Amino acid sequence: FGTGLAHNNHLVARHLGVSTMTADYRLMTSRLEQAKVCVMFAAVAPLASRVFGYVPGRLNENSADLPRGVASEWGRWVLSSGFLFGADDLPERRFFAEQSSPMHFIFASDDPWVVREGVEHLAGQFTRACERTIQEVTPAAARVARIGHIGLFRSELADTVWQEALTWLDS
């Protein structure tokens, strides 16, 4: 979603969003995952940031290491209704409506955090995009047992998911 915040996003020829959504925890289908996210961003992340200077990814099975400032900002957005689109102190969000490139969003069906409603909400913020498509990838289609939150980036998917994504980017 980062290009949506960029003042020069008109330079983007094609936009591929992988495991991205409006990260409002209320959109998650699992109440357990909702609770985990609340605990993570309201308690664990702030404490870990003070202790380590960052939030170690190992504290959460669905994440990578997060620098202190990123964790703080993400926590504020995730716990706010509408994610960063509800942040009144983020004037850059206006750039989402200015990006006009074709967009393709990919998410995993077994991702505990990224759900279709959140992907659709994020895609809908790019109101000038000339094309917006959303692809839900199942583990069976990717020929793996599990994908999860950041699993679409694994090399095992090079011949399936990534080949399709590269074909789209090259078209």
Give the pLDDT confidence of 84-137 residue by residue, as tens digits. 888 888 899 999 999 999 999 999 999 988 999 999 999 999 999 999 999 999
Strands (E), 4-108: 15-18, 54-55, 66-67, 103-108
Predicted pLDDT of residue 128? 96
| pLDDT tens track for 52-78 | 999 998 887 656 888 988 888 888 888
Give me the chain's average pLDDT, please. Answer: 91
pTM of the predicted model as reported, rounded to 2 decimal places: 0.85
Q: Residue holding tokens 């990123």?
A: 70
Number of neighbouring beta carbons within 10 Å of residue 95: 18
